Amino acid sequence: MTHYLTALQAICTREALRFFGQRARLISALVRPLIWLFVFAAGFRAALGLSIIPPYETYITYETYIVPGLCGMVLLFSGMQSSLTLVMDQEMGTMRLLLSAPLPRWWLLLCKLIAGSVISVLQVYAFLVIAALYGVTFPILGYIAALPAMMLTALMVGALGIALSSTIRSLENFAGVMNFVIFPMFFLSSALYPLWKMSEASELLYLLCAANPFTHGIESIRFALYLQANPMAWLVSAGAFAAFMLFALWGYDPAKRLVGRKA
């Protein structure tokens, strides 16, 4: 058990040093959702005509509604950027050294995932502090209750990023795939618009948004911020995390790669 915890501590420390050594990464992670909050929210509220959004009667303004969605945006972009470092490590050979450690492969990848998720959640709370200064606040206990939901969502999108990184060897290709995955996941979710509003526009669009696991991650955060439970959102998020993690473990299986080279 000591070796497992030592590996977790070492990987978390490495990721933290890498993150805090890249201040532009933190700034970019905060600027993106803040632009949506400060600039686009007013336009979207006027266009949608939303003041109180059913069935969330406690949401008074559109800004209050989209802040949980913007928290999901931070987690999504940060999780994919964390996976981008895996592709960099593969090109530099660091990933090969990491996976050659005398520990189970699943634990090493899980440590990498946990480290990236913790950093993502810290960025979310930094965004929530700025949003509170702007006037968008939630119940005090809601910030604490949302922590598990944020962590689960971060693990889910991080596992998806790791699964994608296992199939891509080029840094440039992964950057292109990131955009192909991030934007559909974000816009086909309830981050910016409630699902009932989607159903009014298009039934197909509603079904796509409801099937998107990122939607359920956002909903778990949204409900938790108001001290409410959403078991279905938690169940779907946990199932998606398990599926993405299994695919990531399969992608980093050395036996599979050996067979691929022989073929």
| pLDDT tens digits, one per residue of 100-147 | 667 777 788 888 889 889 999 999 999 999 999 988 889 999 999 999
- Please state, for a pLDDT cut of 90, what percent of the chain lies above it: 27
pLDDT band at 215 (very low <50, low <70, confident <90, very high): very high
In a domain, 210, yes or no: yes
Asked if the structure places residue 98 within a domain, the reply is yes
pLDDT surpasses 80 at 257: no
pLDDT, one tens digit per residue, over 101-110 is 677 777 888 8
Is 261 inside any structural domain?
no
- Could you give the C-alpha distances from 162 to 73, 84, 123, 172, in angstroms and in order? 18, 9, 20, 16
Q: ∠235-237-239 over CA atoms, to 5°? A: 70
* CB contact at 8 A, 76 and 182: yes
As a whole number of angstroms, the distance between CA 243 and CA 156 comes to 9
Residue 144 located in a structural domain: yes
Show the domain range for 183: 2-253
Identify whether the C-beta of residue 227 lies closer than 8 Å to the C-beta of residue 248.
no
In a domain, 14, yes or no: yes
Q: Is residue 219 part of a domain?
A: yes
Does 258 fall in a domain?
A: no
pTM (2 d.p.):
0.84
Tokens of 6: 């030592």
Q: For the chain, what is the domain count?
A: 1
Which residues, at least 6 apart from 239, have a Cβ–Cβ distance to it below 8 Å? Answer: 213
Residue 262 covered by a domain: no
Strand-pair partners of 56: 53
